[in-house]
Amino acid sequence: MPFGFIQGTGGFSASNTSQAFTFGGAVTAGSCLALAMRSNSQSITGVTDNVNGAVAWTQVRQTAWNALGNQLSVYIFPNTASGTPTVTATFAAASSVDFAIAEYGGVATSSPVDVSAIQYNDTAGTAVSLPSITTTNANDVLIGVYVLQNGVTWTDNVAGSTPNTWTNRIGADGNIIWWNDVIVSSTGTYFENATLSASETYASCQFALKQFVAADVLMPQAWM
3-class SS of residue 145 = strand
- Rounded mean pLDDT, 76-86: 98
Residue 68's pLDDT band, with cuts at 50, 70 and 90, is confident
**163-210 tens-digit pLDDT:** 999 999 999 999 999 999 999 999 999 999 999 999 999 999 999 999
Distance CA 177, CA 79 (A): 25
**17-38 tens-digit pLDDT:** 999 999 999 999 999 999 999 9
**127-147 tens-digit pLDDT:** 999 999 999 999 999 999 999
Q: How many CB atoms lie within 10 A of CB 106?
A: 21
The beta strands (E) that lie in 2-112 are given as: 4-22, 32-39, 44-49, 58-65, 70-77, 86-105
**pLDDT for the residue numbered 42:** 79
Residue 71 near residue 63, CB atoms below 8 Å: yes
For residue 223, is pLDDT > 50? no
**pLDDT for the residue numbered 66:** 86
3-class SS of residue 169 = strand
Residue 166 near residue 104, CB atoms below 8 Å: no
3-class SS of residue 215 = helix
Q: Which of 9, 13, 121, 21 is nearest to 63 (CA)?
A: 121
Residue 216's pLDDT band, with cuts at 50, 70 and 90, is low
Cα first-last separation, the chain: 32
For residue 69, is pLDDT > 90? no
Distance CA 136, CA 117 (A): 14
**pLDDT for the residue numbered 219:** 41
Angle at 208 between CA 206 and CA 214, to 5 degrees: 170
Residue 40 near residue 68, CB atoms below 8 Å: yes
For residue 218, is pLDDT > 70? no
In angstroms, what CA-CA distances link 194 with 32, 57, 84, 120, 139?
26, 29, 33, 14, 24
**pLDDT for the residue numbered 221:** 39
**pLDDT for the residue numbered 224:** 37
